[in-house]
Amino acid sequence: MTETGVYQHTTTTPYDAGFGDYVQLLKPRVMSLVVFTALVGLLVAPATLHPVEAFAAILFIALGAGAAGALNMWWDADIDAVMKRTA
């Protein structure tokens, strides 16, 4: 499970990030699981919530999950660069 090799990532041409790159940064698969769990929680809760408040709650939960995914990718960039699965 450990790898001792060091890889250096170099590019010769500048890379322009597109919209899809930013979407991938948010880890949409993980984000969808978090949003689904929050939706189920809202639906089975004994109290009712105004639809606008429920939409805002789901939206902010999605934004928080996406931000956590982006921070995770930034924080673990050095580790991911040397792992075979994520390099």
In a domain, 6, yes or no: no
In a domain, 35, yes or no: yes
Amino acid 63 reads L
**Host domain of residue 45:** 19-82
Amino acid 37 reads T
Does the reported pTM lie above 0.75? no
Whether the Cβ atoms of residue 30 and residue 65 lie closer than 8 Å to each other: yes
In a domain, 2, yes or no: no
Residue 12 predicted with pLDDT over 80: no
Predicted confidence at residue 25, as pLDDT, reads: 84
List all residues 6 or more positions away from 43 whose beta carbon is below 8 Å from its beta carbon: none
How many separate domains does the chain show? Answer: 1
In a domain, 46, yes or no: yes
In a domain, 10, yes or no: no
Structure tokens at 9: 């990532």
Residue 68 predicted with pLDDT over 80: yes
d(CA 71, CA 43) in angstroms, rounded, equals: 29
Whether the Cβ atoms of residue 34 and residue 63 lie closer than 8 Å to each other: no
Structure tokens at 21: 């790159």
Q: What is the pLDDT of residues 17-67, one digit of tens each?
A: 788 888 888 888 999 999 999 999 999 999 888 999 999 999 999 999 999
In a domain, 73, yes or no: yes
In a domain, 30, yes or no: yes
In a domain, 65, yes or no: yes
